[in-house]
Chain A
């Protein structure tokens, strides 16, 4: 556990130094936070809180942020020739990988939650109502859990992509395609179904109820994340990494 925290410490230190440098990423993060945390919520108003579709927005946002960080963290180590030295240290393979994944997940989750909270404040200031505009407790919890799981899944997928990429840029490009496939794929597949099939699916989902659907999605994502992270741990081995 101590070694995992050591790796997280290093990852955050690197990331902090990058964020503090406006030229190297701080400015783009600031602009992103402003648009997603203030502009979008203010324009959407109460819908930004009440719409059911918006639940999927935070996991998507977190996954996007994770993809950028994990590519830099894994493919970047190789590109910058720091990986072999890290592997020659006393840190175990699993501590290195888990540390990198946790750091990326914390970053993605943190960015999404911070945007969510800033957005809540922005909506409530811009659209004053008799009662505060807030998420329900279950909705908030499901959003956080889904965001964490989406981040975890993306981090696991990111490890695989990054291990096969020789540069950060290459990994990020592959990641962009993976995110589009993972998010747009199911929607396009659903739209490709006949009208009757889509209606039947919608009716069944409606019959299941919101809570069961959310539980199923959470369960499915958790299982998928566990499988992907497990496979990533099996793949992340010194002997292979040194020779890749």
Chain B
């Protein structure tokens, strides 16, 4: 097989059983080259198993997958040569220095000495770790280790990088920093990034496409916009003047209104499923409330994700 395909990953009915437990259930997925793909799901959903199969570390029980055009069962070595990975743990040698950690993997990928040195310098500088390159990694903070692990994953300029929850356990500042680094990497290096995460905000900001998996089954796949589309949050934000206690009582009495909150001259309403905002506006106008702005809250990826988690009852899996 060659890697002359427009897909970085193509899985067809990939199933993996561990004894009686089905970790992946007929996963079919196509990840185009050159994008950041987010693989979202709760713990135990099958994300790590999928990565292990795509890297040719374990075989599927049924189905087949191709990564960069190579069959995962038969051509695992060719896949691993062309991929980089940050798995569940950073996987760094804590007794070694940062430079030695990268040097080892540079040697493993047969990077010539000069190129290896230049690349190590380039990546450590980009991640702000160059000054600490001679420290044993064991003395570093978790955020620094994660950055180094990402640097290691892209050291050999792979065509595809698997990042298994790269921001897991990081504080918010480190998370934002690493997210920016990942975005810059994808943009500068032109690699395909396959990212698993619990952080839906992160996925929304970074990913061109996302797949949602639960109990080994792919529930949905598409761009964050596609997944959000058609999802009504039921939240309405109204900037208004003249809202009295009587008006609030009227709103709370409406069958279409689930909850009402006020503050800073704004009304935040949560409407029942499928309820229209027009009758609410009419009611407010009739009560002499001056309305300046009415805004329906846009569904986030988190809304879509939670919606998918709730919808999956076993009969409608795979439905958007």
Q: How far is the CA of A87 from the CA of B89 in the complex (A)?
A: 13
Flag the segment in A5-13, A111-119, A197-205, A227-235 that touches B: A5-13
Q: List residues of A (1-35) whose CB comes within 8 Å of B's CBs.
A: 2-3, 6, 9-10, 13-14, 17-18
Give the interface SS of chain A, mostly helix, strand, loop or mixed. helix
Contact indicator B77/A81 (Cβ below 8 Å): no
Of the listed stretches A45-53, A61-69, A149-157, A236-244, chain B binds A236-244
Tell me whether B88 and A84 are in contact (CB under 8 A): yes
Q: Residue of A at shortest CB range from B83?
A: A88
Are A85 and B85 neighbours in the complex by a CB distance under 8 Å?
yes
Across the interface, which residues of A come within 8 angstroms of B92, CB to CB? Answer: 82
**B12 at interface (Cβ–Cβ under 8 A)?**
no
Contact status A84-B89, CB under 8 Å: yes
User: What separation, in Å, do the CA atoms of A238 and B56 have in the docked complex?
Assistant: 9
Measured CA separation A89–B88 after assembly (Å): 15
Q: Are A81 and B89 in contact (CB under 8 A)?
A: yes
Q: In whole Å, how far is B62's beta carbon from the nearest beta carbon of chain A?
A: 16
The verdict on A18 contacting B95 (CB below 8 Å), with A6-B108, A90-B80, A239-B57 known, is yes
Interface assignment of B140: CB less than 8 Å from any CB of chain A:
no
CB of B87 closer than 8 Å to a CB of A: yes
User: Is the CB–CB distance between A89 and B57 below 8 Å?
Assistant: no
- Contact partner of B80 (CB less than 8 A), chosen from A13, A80, A81, A88, is A88
The reply to whether B81 and A86 contact each other, CB–CB distance below 8 Å, is no
Q: A238-B57, A239-B59 are in contact. Are A84 and B110 (CB under 8 A)?
A: no
Task: Please report the total number of B residues contacting A with Cβ < 8 Å.
Answer: 35
Residues of B within 8 A of A86 (CB): 91
Residues of A within 8 A of B127 (CB): none
- Contact of B55 with A by CB under 8 A: yes
Chain A residues closer than 8 Å to B3, beta-carbon distance: none
Does A87 contact B95, Cβ atoms closer than 8 Å? no
Mask: chain B, 82-101; 1 = CB below 8 Å from A; 0 = not: 01011111111111100010
Contacts of A84 in B (CB 8 A): 57, 87-89, 91
Apart from A88-B87, A89-B80, what are 8 other A-B pairs with CB-CB below 8 Å? Answer: A6-B107, A13-B104, A17-B96, A81-B90, A82-B89, A90-B77, A238-B57, A243-B58
Q: Would you give 23 A-B contacts (Cβ < 8 Å), ordered by A?
A: A2-B110, A6-B108, A10-B93, A10-B96, A13-B104, A14-B95, A80-B93, A80-B94, A81-B88, A81-B89, A82-B89, A82-B93, A84-B89, A85-B87, A85-B90, A88-B80, A88-B162, A89-B80, A91-B108, A238-B56, A238-B57, A239-B58, A242-B57
